[in-house]
């Protein structure tokens, strides 16, 4: 099913954007400035049409303001960040919340969903779709939310806003765990990370193809979007073998992925635009910090040098 036609979208490239630089993070509440976000978007507009934002924080508000004020040609998938409402004792890094914290998270989640609806109605010509959360039901998540609660959030969003609604999650839960969610969303959003699943670069694209078509064929009446797929360029060895990540491998996977997505008309959001040093552990080679097509200093990595290093 052609998602561009189904959602009434023009064909175009898509990328996940989070603009946090050195000394900035959503955890500290130190956000990129208007001018910094403008600089980022002027870079990204050269190659991408669709942006994915992860939450409704001040960061997202500034992004939307910059797009509107500077008259930039972007369409945005805006997400709500929903925190843990249940403890996930299977989380590998063992994040455990008190009952008081879980109740506060639930209250904050409701406020986030309401803000998502307000922003959707404030920027109807920029925001083309809405997500009721990100990786909140997968077995390893540290911000676990029940499928039933996600469904209630989807229904709330659909009642309050007119944009198509989805939920962004790793491909695995869509096989069975999220069956009851499929009829609720307007399209399915999956994540595919061959490098996290120990695939060699030679296996990478075929693995992502298998991830995509296993879901698309399971639910033939529902459009499927890839909302995250990418390749890290550094690793400290935890979860990803350092020999399996490099700028060269990122370039190969990116080019293969874009070529296939374009040919098969699959909306695919590359993860991600810029490296984010705030993420993961304090270790410099923590893989979470190194997924950008550009460094945190906005320098193009190998994959982007042909287009941007001029």
DSSP string, 117-179: HHHHHH-TTTEEEEEEEES-SSTT-SSB--HHHHHHHHHHHHHH--S-EEEEEETGGGTTTTH
- Tens place of pLDDT per residue across the chain (310 aa): 778 888 889 999 999 999 999 999 999 999 999 999 999 999 999 999 999 999 999 999 999 999 999 999 999 999 999 999 999 999 998 889 999 999 999 999 999 999 999 999 999 999 999 999 999 999 999 999 999 999 999 999 999 999 999 999 999 999 999 999 999 999 999 999 999 999 999 999 999 999 999 999 999 999 999 999 999 999 999 999 999 999 999 999 999 999 999 999 999 999 999 999 999 999 999 999 999 999 999 999 999 998 887 5
pLDDT for residue 4: 87
Q: Where residue 281 sits, what CATH number does that domain have?
A: 3.20.20.80
Residue span of the structural domain in which 236 resides? 3-308
pLDDT for residue 6: 85
pLDDT for residue 37: 98
Measured CA to CA, the distance from residue 114 to residue 168 in angstroms comes to: 18
Measured CA to CA, the distance from residue 80 to residue 111 in angstroms comes to: 10
CB 106 within 8 Å of CB 156: no
pLDDT for residue 310: 57
Number of domains the chain is built from: 1
pLDDT for residue 94: 81
On whether the pTM is more than 0.75, the answer is yes
């Amino acid at each position: 099913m052609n998602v561009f036609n189904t959602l009434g979208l023009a064909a175009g490239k898509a990328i996940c954007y989070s603009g946090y630089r050195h000394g900035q993070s959503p955890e500290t509440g130190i956000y990129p400035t208007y001018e910094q976000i403008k600089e980022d978007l002027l870079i990204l507009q050269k190659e991408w049409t669709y942006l994915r934002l992860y939450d409704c924080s001040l960061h997202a508000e500034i992004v939307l303001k910059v797009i509107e004020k500077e008259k930039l040609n972007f369409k945005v998938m805006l997400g709500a960040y929903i925190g843990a409402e249940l403890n996930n004792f299977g989380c590998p890094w063992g994040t455990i919340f008190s009952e008081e914290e879980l109740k506060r998270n639930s209250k904050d989640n409701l406020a986030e969903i309401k803000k998502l609806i307000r922003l959707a109605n404030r920027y109807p010509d920029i925001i083309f779709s809405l997500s009721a959360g990100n990786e909140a039901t997968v077995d390893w998540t540290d911000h676990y939310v029940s499928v039933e609660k996600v469904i209630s959030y989807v229904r709330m969003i659909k009642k309050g806003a007119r944009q198509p609604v989805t939920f962004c999650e790793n491909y695995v839960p869509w096989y069975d765990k999220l069956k009851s969610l499929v009829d609720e969303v307007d399209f399915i959003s999956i994540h595919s990370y061959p490098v996290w699943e120990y695939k060699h670069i030679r296996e990478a694209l075929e693995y992502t193809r298998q991830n995509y078509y296993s879901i698309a064929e399971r639910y033939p009446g529902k459009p499927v979007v890839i909302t995250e797929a990418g390749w890290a360029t550094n690793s400290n060895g935890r979860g990803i073998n350092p020999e399996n990540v490099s700028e060269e491998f990122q370039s190969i996977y990116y080019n293969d992925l874009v070529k296939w997505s374009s040919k098969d008309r699959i909306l695919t959001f590359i993860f991600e635009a810029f490296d984010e040093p705030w993420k993961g552990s304090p270790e410099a080679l923590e893989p979470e910090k190194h997924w950008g097509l550009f460094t945190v200093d906005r320098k193009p990595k190998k994959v982007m040098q042909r287009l941007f290093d001029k």
